[in-house]
């Protein structure tokens, strides 16, 4: 999938979770949504994009993808 489209999708998810009163809940919401609903290829691609600098990701989106990376490392 086009990485720009994935970035847009992450930012849309982050916009949804930005209304969480607790910032940590918003970060976890972004990470959990990606973990649950994205196929492995998409997750791998967005993680690689983050490693390459994460251009275009919103702050909350970037934090959520960082949390996703942490979750995947912990599960391994």
- To the nearest 10 degrees (0 to 180), the angle between helices 23-37 and 40-51 is 130
The answer to whether residue 76 scores a pLDDT higher than 90 is: no
Enumerate residues 6+ apart whose C-beta is below 8 A from 31.
64, 65, 67, 68, 71
Query: What pTM value is reported for the model?
Result: 0.94
Contact 49, 42 (CB under 8 A): no
Q: How many of the other CB atoms lie within 10 Å of CB of 48?
A: 10
pLDDT (0 to 100) of residue 29 = 98
Tens of pLDDT, residue by residue over 2-61, are 999 999 999 999 999 999 999 999 999 999 999 999 999 999 999 999 999 999 999 999
Domain count, the chain: 1
pLDDT at position 75 over 90: no
Domain hosting residue 61, numbered range: 3-75
């Amino acid at each position: 999938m086009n990485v720009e489209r994935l970035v847009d999708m992450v930012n849309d998810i982050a916009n949804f979770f930005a209304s969480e009163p607790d910032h940590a809940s918003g970060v976890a919401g972004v990470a959990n949504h990606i973990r649950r609903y994205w196929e492995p290829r998409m997750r791998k691609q967005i993680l690689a994009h983050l490693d390459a600098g994460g251009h275009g990701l919103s702050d909350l989106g970037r934090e959520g993808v960082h949390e996703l990376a942490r979750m995947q490392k912990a599960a391994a």
